[in-house]
């Protein structure tokens, strides 16, 4: 019997400065089919390789020294240094040396540079919220699009009426409601439409506009939360970048990485979470994607969605 052909990919990276305990990702799987094996770079040589799951290991990050082996029916597409590459068994032995001199001299296109940034940011929350905040949309110190305004909070254990005021940066009042049932977890559609209309009217052509939400009640006191609204120019720039990714003939997962990184760069964290939510419809069993989505919702403070994703990750079947 003919010996089954194997291809071997060795991923390496030279890191400037001190190496962290958790090595930085140097590559990401964006497409996987057939039989592909992984040997982590830090595993003993006598430890058998693990077979990757085409459903669970989609969007998995690979690190310095990791090795992939694809059998005759195997196919894996990776992104490394912003470049998409598809590997088959017929490629034979493939060794990739990613040292700093090569990375520095590489002439990447703007798209390839953006993809490198997207991989660095994938699944990495911008801040940790050890305790779920009362208000999670808009998330504290984040930005939103004016037309997307909603007001969502994690309902407190004891129901009571909230008094809510939204103020401009100069302290003047934009909108208020004297009595809102805290158990609803948010404003009514009519109330949100009123605020959206005001924010759209006040949207600056070029400057980020800042606002403060104050929620007052007998039990909560008077906590305040700040958020910003993108200017018309900033919003147009974001939309233009998204349109560029949408028009390109990218793998759907690559497109999702691009879009999520675009939202995150603009500090639109809720849009990053939405992007991961949409990507999960295409790859519902991707462990890496569920973890990234969980990190984004945890950063926002959306307690209900975070619990749902944590349970989903826990119940993920092994393959």
Q: What is the pLDDT of residues 91-136, one digit of tens each?
A: 755 544 454 434 444 577 888 888 888 887 787 766 656 567 899 9
Question: What per-residue string of b and e applies to 152-185 under the rule 16 or more CB within 10 Å gives b?
Answer: bbebeeeeeebebbbbeeeeeeebebeebebeee
The CA distance from 39 to 280, in Å, is 26
Q: What is the pTM of this model?
A: 0.83
Cα–Cα separations (whole angstroms), residue 162 to 12, 127, 134, 149, 174: 55, 27, 12, 19, 17
Structure confidence at residue 251 (pLDDT): 85
Place of tokens 């660095």: 120
The CA distance from 234 to 230, in Å, is 6
Closest CA to 201 of 236, 240, 149: 149
Q: Is 168 helix (H, G, I), strand (E, B) or coil?
A: strand
Q: Which of 64-78, 197-211, 294-308 has the lowest mean pLDDT?
A: 64-78
Structure confidence at residue 94 (pLDDT): 56
Mean pLDDT of 138-143: 92
Residues forming a β-bridge with 229: 144, 209
Q: Which of 56-65, 153-162, 180-189, 308-317 has the lowest mean pLDDT?
A: 56-65
The CA distance from 151 to 174, in Å, is 14
CATH of segment(s) 136-230: 2.60.40
Mean pLDDT of 157-165: 93
Structure confidence at residue 23 (pLDDT): 58
Instruction: Give yes or no for a contact between 63 and 25, defined as CB atoms under 8 angstroms apart.
Output: yes
Q: Where are the beta strands (DSSP E) in the chain?
A: 7-11, 25-33, 36-39, 50-51, 61-63, 67-70, 75-80, 83-88, 93-96, 135-137, 142-144, 152-153, 161-168, 173-181, 209-216, 224-229
Residue 273: is its pLDDT beyond 50? Answer: yes
Phi, psi of 294 (to 5 degrees): -60, -45
Structure confidence at residue 1 (pLDDT): 34
Closest CA to 28 of 80, 85, 96: 80
What's the mean per-residue pLDDT of the chain? Answer: 83
Structure confidence at residue 173 (pLDDT): 97
Cis omega (within 30 of 0) for bond into 140: no
pLDDT in tens, 1-41: 333 333 333 332 222 233 334 556 778 899 999 989 887 77
C-alpha gyration radius of the chain: 23
């Amino acid at each position: 019997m003919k010996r089954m052909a194997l291809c071997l990919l060795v991923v390496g990276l030279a890191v400037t400065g001190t190496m962290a305990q958790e090595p930085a990702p140097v590559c990401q799987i964006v497409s996987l089919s057939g039989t592909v094996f992984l040997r982590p770079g830090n595993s003993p040589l006598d430890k058998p390789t693990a077979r990757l799951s085409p459903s669970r290991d989609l969007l998995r990050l690979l690190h310095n020294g990791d090795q992939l082996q694809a059998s005759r029916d195997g196919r894996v597409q990776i992104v490394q240094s912003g470049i998409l590459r598809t590997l088959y068994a017929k490629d034979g032995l493939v060794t990739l040396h990613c040292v700093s001199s090569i990375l520095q001299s590489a002439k990447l296109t703007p798209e390839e540079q953006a993809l490198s940034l997207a991989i660095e940011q994938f699944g990495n929350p911008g801040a940790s919220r050890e305790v779920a905040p009362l208000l999670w949309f808009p998330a504290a110190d984040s930005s939103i699009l004016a037309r997307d305004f909603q007001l969502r909070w994690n309902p407190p254990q004891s129901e009571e009426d909230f008094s809510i005021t939204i103020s401009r940066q100069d302290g003047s009042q934009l909108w208020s409601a004297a009595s809102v049932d805290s158990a609803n977890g948010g404003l009514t559609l009519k109330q949100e439409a009123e605020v959206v209309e005001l924010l759209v009217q006040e949207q600056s052509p070029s400057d980020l506009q800042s606002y403060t939400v104050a929620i007052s009640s007998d039990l909560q006191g008077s906590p305040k939360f700040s958020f910003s609204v993108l200017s018309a120019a900033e919003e147009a720039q974001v939309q233009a970048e998204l349109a560029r990714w949408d028009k390109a003939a990218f793998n759907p997962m690559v497109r999702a990485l691009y879009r999520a990184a675009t939202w995150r760069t603009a500090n639109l964290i809720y849009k990053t979470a939405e992007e991961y939510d949409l990507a999960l419809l295409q790859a519902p069993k991707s462990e890496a994607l569920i973890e990234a989505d969980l990190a984004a919702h945890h950063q926002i403070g959306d307690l209900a969605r975070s619990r749902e994703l944590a349970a989903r990750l826990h119940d993920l079947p092994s393959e």
